[in-house]
Amino acid sequence: MSEPAPLLNVQIDGVWHQFPKGTRVIEACARAGKFVPRYCYHPKLSSPGNCRMCLIEMGMPKMGPDRKPELGSDGKPVINWIPRPQISCAQDIAEGMGVKTDSPLVQECRHGVMEFLLINHPLDCPICDQAGECELQEFSVQYGNGGSRFREEKVKKPKHVVLGPRVTLDDERCILCSRCIRFMKEIAKDDVLGFASRGSHTYLTAHPGRVLDSNYSLNTVDICPVGALTSTDFRFKMRVWFLKETKSICTSCATGCNTIVGSRQNVIYRQTPRENDDVNSAWMCDYGRLNFHFVNSKDRLNEPQIRSGSTLENVNWNTAFGRAVEELKRYQPDEIAVIGSGRMTNEELWLTKKLIDGLKVTHYDIVPRTGEADDLLLNTDRNPNTNGAKLLGVSSDEPGVKLRRIIDGVSSGQIKAVIALHEDLTQAGLSAPSLEQLGALIVVGILPNETTKRATILLPGVSFAEKRGTMINAKGRLQRLNRAIQSPGNAHEDWEILRDLVQQLTGENGVYLIEDVFKQMAENVPQFEGLSISKVGDLGVRLLGVAEAAPA
């Protein structure tokens, strides 16, 4: 292991602190409880120092004739202050350095920078998507003058510019911080954005012949400190102060990016990344970010149904469970198959395994789901919880091996009953005619598909945003889903559906809290020992004994 960085003494607003060598001055101030406003600075990007909002007073120890720092009456070095302001974002601390974050000179500099930035800024606040989380608004109130001496015509720049399929630009709002340019170059490795023209007429644009079509383009919207870059999908949909924000994780691939789900009145309006250096840093891909609209679908399944002739009829849950048990008891264990999903939580998979054991079936697996990966976050495994399915025994080390045998068994007529959990089996390799010849097809799902159309019993479940639970990502990290919205109609959480099926089939006493399901896992699975859902926390925990998936 490398040696820890040595600690350096730094005076901030008259108080001495110690920070590791290599700490940026702006970060040292933050750790000392002194916030320094900034626009161009972002802790995950390089520091160009071009907005000048983070100007401070800085000084170094006054050296005596013996080339050693002069000490004051308090035994601390006497600071020799530099007579002009310095930027704090692009400079590291040094031994004996002094910093003033709120002196009269610093306040005057901030007033000047704010006045300069607002000279040509349009009064778009009433219609701007960034209103409510705009740093220009916040800093103008906190550090601005409250007035402007500018009397000339504002410079007009392009508005409603389609930079790419998912990002719309209002260039008049841009304050030239260059965060978006640096993100695309340094993180996304797609140097597509740049500044054109000069002076007050400088504007942001894509390079000639290029569009901002990266799978990470919407991260530029997140880090834009004003309302210049906007999400086309979210644009003009909802005021941010109306949104309820719920910490959760992305379920679109095995990376499990940490997210914040923004919702109002049981409708999801956006997903944005939440910082977790052990998983996704501060970013997420556009594919995962926008993969929530199906939750808002008007076609959601919301009532249990059983087949009557050629149609499905709504029934209550007790009737549906009773019919399910009746259908399953007609068949021998080797005539029944259970097909789970790598998109289910650990708690759901644990109860799925109990269902498998209760039925004594040997035909069970999850449906593998793969796609093209990249070098940043998007994983080739599109199931968010393949590791959980393996750990809890619902899938083997090679998901899909048993599934192929199940498909052959259904096609040949050997398997006569199938329980399908959140999977369209026609997408997994089973033909519609094969499904129609089954004696029993019990389906848990949230949207109509070719499998639900052929179900003998249809049980409406819930989406990732409507339940609590845990998942294990590709790196073996246990993370937590939180409920952001309520499920529609009479849909039930999947763990409750599975619990009731197990209870009806085996007579086993049920559990009534998701925490109790996790407690059962913790008592029986060594990797979960000593944990609970609350102990997983917002950032998750690394599970010992869970192998990392092969690199994407």
Tens of pLDDT along 49-66? 999 999 999 999 888 787
Which of these, 152, 143, 90, 87, lies nearest to 112 by C-alpha position? 143
Q: Write out pLDDT tens, residues 82-121.
A: 999 999 999 999 998 999 999 999 999 999 999 999 988 9
DSSP β-ladder status, 336-341 and 417-421 = parallel
Contact of 259 with 249, CB cutoff 8 Å: yes
Which of these, 220, 196, 219, 216, lies nearest to 206 by C-alpha position? 196
pLDDT of residue 551: 46
pLDDT of residue 552: 43
Q: Enter the tokens of residue 79.
A: 């600071």
- pLDDT at residue 26 greater than cutoff 70: yes
- Rounded to an integer, what distance in angstroms lies between the CA atom of residue 103 and that of residue 197? 36
Q: Write out pLDDT tens, residues 470-524.
A: 999 999 999 999 999 999 999 999 999 999 999 998 887 778 999 999 999 999 9
- pLDDT at residue 147 greater than cutoff 80: no
Sign of the torsion formed by the C-alpha atoms of 381, 384, 389 and 391: positive
* H/E segment holding residue 392: none
- pLDDT at residue 226 greater than cutoff 50: yes
DSSP conformation class of 530: T
Tell me the mean pLDDT in the region 254-258: 97
Pairwise pLDDT comparison (187 vs 154), residue with the higher score: 187
- pLDDT at residue 67 greater than cutoff 90: no
- Rounded to an integer, what distance in angstroms lies between the CA atom of residue 516 and that of residue 335? 32
Tell me the mean pLDDT in the region 457-475: 97
pLDDT of residue 149: 83
pLDDT of residue 548: 67
Identify the three-state secondary structure at position 470.
Answer: strand
Contact of 244 with 463, CB cutoff 8 Å: no
Q: Write out pLDDT tens, residues 408-446.
A: 999 999 999 999 999 999 999 889 999 999 999 999 999
Q: Enter the tokens of residue 368.
A: 């593998």
Q: What is the pLDDT of the chain when averaged over all its residues? A: 93
DSSP conformation class of 476: S
Pairwise pLDDT comparison (74 vs 125), residue with the higher score: 125
pLDDT of residue 137: 92
Give the rounded percent of residues in the chain with a pLDDT score beyond 70. Answer: 99
| Domains of the chain by start residue, with CATH | 7-102 (3.10.20.740), 152-296 (3.30.70.20), 305-542 (3.40.50.740)
Identify the three-state secondary structure at position 72.
Answer: coil
- pLDDT at residue 320 greater than cutoff 70: yes
- pLDDT at residue 75 greater than cutoff 80: no
pLDDT of residue 282: 96
